[in-house]
């Protein structure tokens, strides 16, 4: 079932559809939220995000990923305000890749680029899958559709890619 169908089902009270939407989108939402939040806060924000999805599925219009990220950003901003962070700081940290030292950021990107070579040349199906899933934040279903492969194949390739990248990054070690 595609995301739009899932949202229509959620609007009628289908909690299994909500679970399926959560499983497809929570990983990339969590990855983006981790840029500015502690892991326990990310869990809270994800929970509040999908409660809001449950409540507002009837009013959904637009693109699912963007809509979910908008909800997650609002929930994160509320969490930050509740815990003493200003709205400007929250918006900046949610939208900017990081506030690390420029040299450290450049070094990390170089290490990641080097590690990505274990997946093959740039533009191949494995690298494209990683780009779509983790850089652009598309759901497994969207990536499967774009690449013309089953969702299960995307999941198994993503699992393998994570392990290959982790091993390559660990092998590179700290500089």
pTM of the model: 0.51
Q: What is the CATH number of domain 3-95?
A: 1.10.1740.10
In 6-163, the DSSP E strands lie at none
Rounded to an integer, what distance in angstroms lies between the CA atom of residue 31 and that of residue 144? 20
Radius of gyration of the chain (CA): 18
The architecture (CATH level 2) of 102-172 comes to Orthogonal Bundle (1.10)
In this structure, of 13-17, 134-138, 149-153, the range with the lowest mean pLDDT score is 134-138
Establish whether domains 3-95 and 102-172 are of one fold.
no
| Sequence ranges of the domains in the chain | 3-95, 102-172
- pLDDT, averaged across the chain: 80
Report the 10 Å Cβ neighbour count for 27.
Answer: 16
Whether the Cβ atoms of residue 68 and residue 49 lie closer than 8 Å to each other: yes
Chain segment 53-101, per-residue pLDDT in tens: 999 999 888 888 889 988 998 898 888 888 876 444 444 445 444 434 4
């Amino acid at each position: 079932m595609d995301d739009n169908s899932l949202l229509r089902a959620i609007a009628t009270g289908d909690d299994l559809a909500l679970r399926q939407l959560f499983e497809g989108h929570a990983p990339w939402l969590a990855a983006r939220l981790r840029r500015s939040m502690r892991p326990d806060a990310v869990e809270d924000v994800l929970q509040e995000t999908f409660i809001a999805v449950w409540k507002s599925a009837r009013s959904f219009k637009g693109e699912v990923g963007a809509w979910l990220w908008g909800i997650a950003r609002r929930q994160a901003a509320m969490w930050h305000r509740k815990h003493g962070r200003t709205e400007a700081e929250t918006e900046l940290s949610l939208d900017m890749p990081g506030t690390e030292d420029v040299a450290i950021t450049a070094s990390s990107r170089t290490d990641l680029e080097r590690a990505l070579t274990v997946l093959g040349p740039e533009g191949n199906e494995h690298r494209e899958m990683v780009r779509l899933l983790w850089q652009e934040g598309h759901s497994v279903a969207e990536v499967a559709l774009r690449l013309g492969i089953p969702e299960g194949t995307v999941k198994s390739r993503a699992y393998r890619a994570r392990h290959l990248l982790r091993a390559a990054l660990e092998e590179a070690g700290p500089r």
